[in-house]
Amino acid sequence: MLDSLFNPVGVAVIGASGKELHIGNRVIKNLLDFGYKGGIYPINPKADEIRGIKAYPSILDVPGQVDVAHMVIPAKFVPMAVEECGKKGVRHIIINSGGFSETGPEGAEIETAFLEKARAYGIRIFGPNCQGIINSDPAVRAYCNFTFTFPEAGHISIVALSGGVAEVIHQGFSAMDVGTRIYASNGNACDISIPEIIRYLADDDGTRVIVTYVEGLKDPLGFFEAAREATAKKPVLAMKAGRTMEGAKAAASHTGGLAREDMATDLIFKKAGIVDFRDEGHLINAAAVFGSQPVPKGNRVGIITNTGGPAVIATDILVDAGLMLPPLSENIKTMLSGKLYPEATVSNPVDVLATGTADHYLACLEAMMADDSFDCVLVNFVTPFFVDTESIARAIAQVNLRQIKPMVCNLMTDRRQWASTVAILKSAGVPCFALPSDAARALGALVRYRRILDRKAGRVRTFGDVDADGARAILSRAAARKILAADQVYALLESYGIDVPDWRMADDIDGALAAAEAIGYPVVVKADAEAVVHKSDMGGVAVNLLDADALKRAVAGMIERIDVPNLRFFVQQYVPGGREVILGAKAEPGVGHLIMFGLGGIFVEVLKDVVFNLTPVTDAEAREMVDGIQACALLDGVRGEKAVDKAALIVLIQRLSRLVTDFPQIKELDLNPVMAFENGAVAVDARIAL
């Protein structure tokens, strides 16, 4: 579908202008300067030519095929122009102009109007209010964009709504002399979407790496699915910003209160196998490595250096990123024997000394490439005036071209004085950085990608024992309530196989006594009514009631204290001991639910030691959640306590995931606490909001 957008045989510019500072002129200049291989058709009823190219009064007058028409005209004229493009058989329209939905309802109406026409003619719209696309493929050279950074041909493709950030990334590559394959920034994205473009790039053979930036996802599930398909084919690197802009929403539950506003995007990134970044500089540097280097088999890195301190800095960053620096194997030591200066440090890092020559570098590189004890190499190379730095660069370049294991280079030099040395490395595709931290972090990202590739996604268990019909009936009866009644809550949990203590509902003291008799003492009693929101604060909870007298006093006290209509009493078996944990779910519109797990009590209230994932949670993900809290050692038993049944918690997370997935009307759900025992786990208090 998007093939002719990125590989157009002809490009028209509706609103082409003779004025230098007009976008309708710049796009034509860019197409010309970049060496576009197709037909260029300026559309302007008042001009014979623009920048020396024959202009046409209307798109209908263009003789050749037009795959892409730019529109650089006021918003109000766009619907009519789309109509004309339809008649001409134009396949894609890049609307650079603004004045649409981004400005308010009036603009949104125009957007709806032109979209309707576009659909009628089968035209796809890119934008509006956008920069456009670039394709650096030598056979195409399409610069359908009004920006000013001309990419080298390359293997990294960039896609983002935000033109500003897409361009920052693009400029970052350009400053490093790293090429860009396809660039797409689609502004309002009223038709052609980011997920659609990601799918296209996933199938584009020229694209080795997809880079994207998002502030919020318009269609989170669509993005997730496209990204997951893409990551199965090639690395997708992404950054999300706008983390701190939004305040936390008022929430009716712990889970709601603890879930950060933008958490879903992070979880989507993770679940889709995206390599995510918090800093656009790190993203740019990593992409340069992903675009030129093979993926390492593991996390063992060898460092070759001709200066000490920068290798120390690189080591810190590598270790922080989860890489290991194994010692040199005997095999490598043998390979290096007699090949370095006697004063050289033959360990990891290998210090070949400032006076180290090309032969020294080559010996180290070949040894590390050949020996199985390393997965990747970081070269730390300062350019002293007294050695032949060009030869060293050629040695590094030569090894890199073999693409045996990934390598990066921290090239410490004055890039103006040592331009030819720099050029040798760059032309061989060695990713070169000016700071040891940058080189190390970029290599670290590549190793992170290896871990993502090796990660087991796990499977979504379906649980044949759940009673979905029963649950549906409970929820439809409850539909009028925002907060479910206690009997509804526990019946619902039971229908999905979630263990709860034995319970009964009662309307009064006698009912409560009968319930307790049936359950067996000791019991817990909880006041229940639609108006009772925080039952503990209202004196609506009494635990460990040992006999009828105690129960009677407790219920009588509640009746006295809590003056609300339809007050009932939830009586349940008292379950002492166990380790308190909390589980929860929160609906995330357009995505599903966030599922939360953590330790209860102060761990959730004070330390906020909780982890999240998105529905549907797989078995592997549930295990990762249980093992992912900071205090997870407590689950394994410390200070002589017994370990709790982690397997039961892992199943419980999955049952909860299944429940809220089946019933998306559940807005928030807390199981707090769940008592985890040596065998099994029981939800002793719960709360569900629709």
Strands (E), 529-628: 541-545, 568-573, 579-588, 592-599, 610-614
Per-residue CA distances from 59 to 6, 132, 169, 346, 676 (Å): 20, 19, 34, 70, 71
Give least dist CB 96 to a copy of itself, A: 11
Give least dist CB 278 to a copy of itself, A: 8
Of 94 and 506, nearer to a copy of itself (C-beta) is 94
What angle do helix axes 220-231 and 263-272 make, rounded to 10 degrees? 30
Of 386 and 480, nearer to a copy of itself (C-beta) is 386
Of 396 and 505, nearer to a copy of itself (C-beta) is 396
Find residue 239's DSSP bridge partners: 213, 277
- The rounded distance, in Å, linking the Cα atoms of 184 and 196 is 11
φ, ψ for residue 583, nearest 5 deg: -125, 150
Sign of CA dihedral 261, 262, 264, 270: negative
Structure tokens at 59: 């798109």
Provide the residue type at 281 as one letter.
G
State yes or no: cis peptide before 349, omega within 30 of 0. yes
Residue with tokens 């001709």: 306
Of 10 and 163, nearer to a copy of itself (C-beta) is 163
Find residue 365's DSSP bridge partners: none
- Residue 174 CA, chain-centre distance (Å), reads 25
Of 39 and 187, nearer to a copy of itself (C-beta) is 187
Q: What share of the chain is helix, strand, coil (3-state, %, to 5)?
A: 40, 20, 40
Of 16 and 90, nearer to a copy of itself (C-beta) is 16
Q: Which helix (H) or strand (E) holds 177?
A: none
What angle do helix axes 389-401 and 419-427 make, rounded to 10 degrees? 10
DSSP letter at 18?
A: S
350: nearest Cα among 370, 373, 378: 378
* C-beta of residue 685 within 8 angstroms of C-beta of residue 672: yes
Burial of 303 (0-12, 13-18, 19+ CB in 10 A): buried
Structure tokens at 311: 């290798």
* C-beta of residue 381 within 8 angstroms of C-beta of residue 358: no
Give least dist CB 639 to a copy of itself, A: 7
Of 385 and 454, nearer to a copy of itself (C-beta) is 385
Of 28 and 505, nearer to a copy of itself (C-beta) is 28
Helices assigned H by DSSP within 371-435: 389-401, 419-427
Sign of CA dihedral 495, 498, 504, 505: negative
* C-beta of residue 346 within 8 angstroms of C-beta of residue 328: yes
The residue length of the chain stands at: 690
Give least dist CB 308 to a copy of itself, A: 6
Give least dist CB 605 to a copy of itself, A: 6
- The rounded distance, in Å, linking the Cα atoms of 12 and 148 is 19
Give least dist CB 243 to a copy of itself, A: 5
Give least dist CB 552 to a copy of itself, A: 25
Of 26 and 155, nearer to a copy of itself (C-beta) is 26
Residues forming contacts to a copy of itself in the complex (CB under 8 A) are 21-23, 26, 103, 146, 148-149, 160, 162-168, 171-172, 174-175, 213, 215, 241-245, 278-281, 284, 307-310, 312-313, 315-317, 319-320, 343, 382-383, 385-386, 412-415, 417, 434-438, 601-602, 605-607, 630-631, 633-634, 638-639
What angle do helix axes 486-495 and 468-478 make, rounded to 10 degrees? 160
> What residues have CB less than 8 Å from 195, skipping those under 6 apart?
219, 222, 223, 225, 226, 227
Give least dist CB 632 to a copy of itself, A: 9
Of 547 and 605, nearer to a copy of itself (C-beta) is 605
Give least dist CB 90 to a copy of itself, A: 26
Structure tokens at 114: 């032109």
- The rounded distance, in Å, linking the Cα atoms of 596 and 585 is 6
The C-alpha angle with vertex 62 and arms to 56 and 66, in degrees rounded to 5, equals: 125
* C-beta of residue 637 within 8 angstroms of C-beta of residue 643: yes
Of 62 and 190, nearer to a copy of itself (C-beta) is 190
Give least dist CB 382 to a copy of itself, A: 6
Of 241 and 473, nearer to a copy of itself (C-beta) is 241
Structure tokens at 240: 């999300």
Give least dist CB 441 to a copy of itself, A: 9
Of 510 and 641, nearer to a copy of itself (C-beta) is 641
Structure tokens at 212: 């994207």
Give least dist CB 26 to a copy of itself, A: 6
- The rounded distance, in Å, linking the Cα atoms of 95 and 117 is 14
Of 67 and 167, nearer to a copy of itself (C-beta) is 167
Of 343 and 454, nearer to a copy of itself (C-beta) is 343
Give least dist CB 267 to a copy of itself, A: 18
Give least dist CB 630 to a copy of itself, A: 6
Give least dist CB 313 to a copy of itself, A: 5
Provide the residue type at 189 as one letter.
A
Of 57 and 281, nearer to a copy of itself (C-beta) is 281
Structure tokens at 633: 């050692």
Helices assigned H by DSSP within 219-295: 220-231, 254-258, 263-272, 280-292
Give least dist CB 5 to a copy of itself, A: 22
Pairing of strands 156-160, 132-135: unpaired
Residue with tokens 């190379």: 381
Give least dist CB 56 to a copy of itself, A: 24
Of 150 and 463, nearer to a copy of itself (C-beta) is 150
